Amino acid sequence: MKEHIAPAIRVTLVALVFFAGIYTLLILGISKLTRGKGQGDQLTVNGKKVYANVGQKFTQDKYFWSRPSAVDYNAAGAGGSNKGPTNPDYLATVQARIDSFAVHNPGVPKTSIPAELVTASGSGLDPDISVDAAKVQVARIAKTRGLAAANIEQLIIANTSAPLAGVAGPTKINVLALNIALDNLK
Amino acid sequence: MNTDIIGLVIIYALTILLAIPLGKYIAAVFSGTTKRSDIVFNPLDKLFYKLGGIDPRKEMNWKQHLTALLVINLFWFVLAMLVLTNMGRLPLNPDGNPSMTGDLAFNTAISFITNTNLQHYSGETGVSYLGQLTLMLWQFISAGCGIAIAAVVFIAMKERTTKALGNFYFLFVRSCTRVLFPLAVLMAVLLAFNGVPMTFDGKATQISLQGDTMQVSRGPVAAFVAIKQLGTNGGGFFGPNSAHPLENPNYFTNMIETIAILLIPIALIFTLGHILQRRKLAWTIFGVMSLGFFLLMVPTVMNESGGNPAIAKLGIAQPHGSMEGKEVRFGAAASAYWAISTTVTSNGSVNAMHDSLLPLSGMNALLAMMVNAFFGGVGVGFLNFYVFMILAVFISGLMVGRTPEFLGKKIEAKEMKIAMVIALLHPFLILVSAALASYLFAHNPTVYAGWLNNPGYHGFSEMLYEFTSASANNGSGFEGLGDNTPFWNISCGIVMLLARFLPIIGPVAIAGILANKKYIPESAGTLKTDTATFGLMVFAVIAIVAALSFFPALALGPIAEHFSMH
């Protein structure tokens, strides 16, 4: 056993330098060549940088709402609700979100509300909604902003991301990009 | 076919297409017959041997291999404890995160050296960047250790009589530098170019479009996520793991990360075929494992895509399936596929919250970990499967009335005893510890009320899942469980420790003992182990052990919850 102690310590320390140190620096160096220079993808809004992929809270009637978040879009402590599918408290929360949606969006039938608009995402920072989830909000936004519904629907089409390479994965809309476009609509 | 399903078909096809050549390459790495890559890696390995004070040509027997493995892991534990309990005062801590308490550090240190990556903390607030980097070190070397020990068993299974089973450090260093390192670099670069941050800056402050001030945690994420996925580690940089948009920003990164979960575990099966020169045996093993994977994965994808019946009763639409705890950019199907990939392999990373999976999906994730041999963790997954193969050989031998032989070696009482103990250890650890936790909770529900985030059957599932994950060295969780308490930290720590090292010691001992026995050439009376019949036999053994051991516990948790819904 004794003959294994020195190699164990020495190999580990070499590995520490190589995998925690050199590997990290290598990736750090290469990532400086990316668009975000290693910071991740950011947009400039009103002269300030924001993360393009980190979802934001949108609860005002004039914006497309993002999905509910168990952590209230806290990007320094992200997380999901971890509620089980049959938990009565959870189902009551979802019911309350449906009721609140109905109050803000009169005339929208309950059967056309997609579940992702009233269920919390895994990260609590979901940047996207589905096309269905955007469409059910058009009437409210058109009324609040005094715009024609057709213009807003046009905006939805323009901001829809197709599946990867047109074939793989869901169709989705980045809520932040959509709302920025909405603010720019004159 | 909808685009969600096409995505899964592409993911699976790419995984297999990459795993086959990778398996061949890993075989060359173990046998020292790599050629082109030697220009880069020979100097690197020599540096490791020289600075490490190792003679890579010194042959070891199975006991020496195990001693080397246990000694190095003991040092890793000490080092991990030191860093985790002191990182608050050490450099690279721009967000001012604290050091860990003793019990949390105990749990986290064991969790990372055992390749489990169960996390009773959240990355954003629970560790400094230095802490993250040292955890990343274990993501490399604990995986390398698993791969090396699988190589020892592969070498022992060759058709000859020997005590010499290669050199542990040689296999370990090469697994890290020539398998994990290049794959991790490639993957980290792909992630970085897709918007995964790689920075040592602390939190960013930004103003949202609605005018709220937000803080955004970040860090050296790209490097960390790559090895987390490749080495069946699974510990996330951020709390919500690969559901977090900075850890997994789009469908393309999700494809890469999903492929990375299964890549090395599958490749190692083909490596076995090359080393033993028994391709057909490798395909038989691959077939059995794939059967298990598909039987769990397909129903889970269908179940999640179909939506939650309890939500349907509220009268709203579920065109995209059950979305609680899931992300729109992946969709329900890719989240379900990931949930089974990560649990069959003991990876444990998640891209959706498993606590919010539908009851039967949660059960399939549990079953995947309860079997823990359909691909399994890098290296160690095969060791679990090896135990089941030994059991299947023995039972088949009894059925046809012959002395059981496996690859030309007689299996006798000693090997069988070890195999039985190891096969029963996993159910024993899970069921006893889950029973203990349930007793404590039921005995004093007010004191332990903080444990459970959900009432009833699902609450029991949360506790069962935690110990199943610990014992499978998986690391995923029903994260509603309030698990950062001394009870959970210490009990899970002990379970992870026993569940990592005993299932390594047992199979290595069996393989070592068998390797030293007289080789009996195949004859007409030899049980063929590379046939579909034998494959089904192994599958039956696995199904019977898992079903008989775990059905009662599953009936109390997910099955009861499922029927309560209808």
Taking only the tens of pLDDT, chain B with its 566 residues reads 699 999 999 999 999 999 999 999 999 999 998 888 899 999 999 999 999 999 999 999 999 999 999 999 999 999 999 999 999 999 999 999 999 999 999 999 999 999 999 999 999 999 999 999 999 999 999 999 999 999 999 999 998 899 999 999 999 999 999 999 999 999 999 999 999 999 999 999 999 999 999 999 999 999 999 999 999 999 999 999 999 999 999 999 999 999 999 999 999 999 999 999 999 999 999 999 999 999 999 999 999 999 999 999 999 999 999 999 999 999 999 999 999 999 999 999 999 999 999 999 999 999 999 999 999 999 999 999 999 999 999 998 888 888 889 999 999 999 999 999 999 999 999 999 999 999 999 998 888 888 999 999 999 999 999 999 999 999 999 999 988 999 999 999 999 999 999 999 999 999 999 999 999 888 877 888 899 999 999 999 999 988 789 999 999 999 999 999 88
Quote the CA–CA distance of A167 and A157 in Å, as a whole number.
18
Residue to mutate among A54, A69, A94, A108, with most B CBs inside 10 A, is: A54
DSSP H or E stretch at residue A44? strand A42-45
CA quadruple B13, B14, B20, B23: dihedral, nearest 10: -130
State the Rg of chain A over Cα: 23
State residue B402's pLDDT score.
80
Cβ-in-10-Å burial (0-12, 13-18, 19+) of A160 comes to middle
Mean pLDDT of A6-22: 96
Nearest Cα neighbor of A36 from B254, B249, B229 is B249
Mean pLDDT of A100-126: 95
State residue A177's pLDDT score.
96
Task: End-to-end CA distance of chain B: give it in Å, rounded.
Answer: 29
Find the DSSP H helices in B87-212. 102-113, 123-126, 129-156, 168-174, 181-192
Query: Quick one: angle between helices B221-230 and B251-276, nearest 10?
Result: 40
Q: Kindly determine whether residue A86 and residue B310, on different chains, have CB atoms separated by under 8 Å.
A: yes
Of all residues in chain A, what percent carry a pLDDT higher than 70? 99
The C-alpha of B99 sits at a distance from chain A's nearest C-alpha, in angstroms, of: 17
Mean pLDDT of A5-32: 96
Task: Return the structure tokens found at B193.
Answer: 């170019």
State residue A1's pLDDT score.
73
State residue B417's pLDDT score.
96
Who among A19, A41, A91 is closest to B195 (CB)? A41
Who among B137, B169, B314 is closest to A16 (CB)? B137
Q: Kindly determine whether residue B328 and residue A126, on different chains, have CB atoms separated by under 8 Å.
A: yes
State residue B447's pLDDT score.
87
Cβ proximity of B63 and B168 under 8 Å: no
Average pLDDT along chain B: 95
Of all residues in chain A, what percent carry a pLDDT higher than 90? 94
Cβ proximity of B229 and B262 under 8 Å: no
Who among B210, B246, B311 is closest to A56 (CB)? B210
Residue A13 confidence (pLDDT) above 70: yes
In B323-434 the beta strands, taken as DSSP E runs, fall at 405-406, 409-410
Of A124-133, A166-175, B520-529, least confident by mean pLDDT is: B520-529
A22 contact partners, CB below 8 Å, separation of at least 6:
none
B78 touches chain A (CB under 8 A): no
Cβ proximity of A98 and A118 under 8 Å: yes
The C-alpha of B308 sits at a distance from chain A's nearest C-alpha, in angstroms, of: 7
**What are B410's strand-pairing partners?**
B405
User: What are the residue ranges spanned by the domains of chain B?
Assistant: 3-565
Nearest Cα neighbor of B337 from B258, B440, B236 is B258
The pLDDT tens digits for A55-71 are 999 999 999 999 999 99
| Amino acid at residue number B196 | V
Q: Kindly determine whether residue B72 and residue A26, on different chains, have CB atoms separated by under 8 Å.
A: no
B205 touches chain A (CB under 8 A): no
Distance of alpha carbon A165 from its chain centroid, rounded?
A: 21
Cβ proximity of B311 and B341 under 8 Å: no
State residue B290's pLDDT score.
97
State residue B1's pLDDT score.
63
Nearest chain B alpha carbon to A90: B454
Q: Kindly determine whether residue B561 and residue A113, on different chains, have CB atoms separated by under 8 Å.
A: no
- The alpha carbon dihedral of A177, B223, B218, A33 has a sign of negative
The pLDDT tens digits for B498-518 are 999 999 999 999 999 999 999
Q: Kindly determine whether residue B210 and residue A1, on different chains, have CB atoms separated by under 8 Å.
A: no
Residue A179 confidence (pLDDT) above 90: yes
Partners of residue A9 in chain B, C-beta under 8 Å: 75
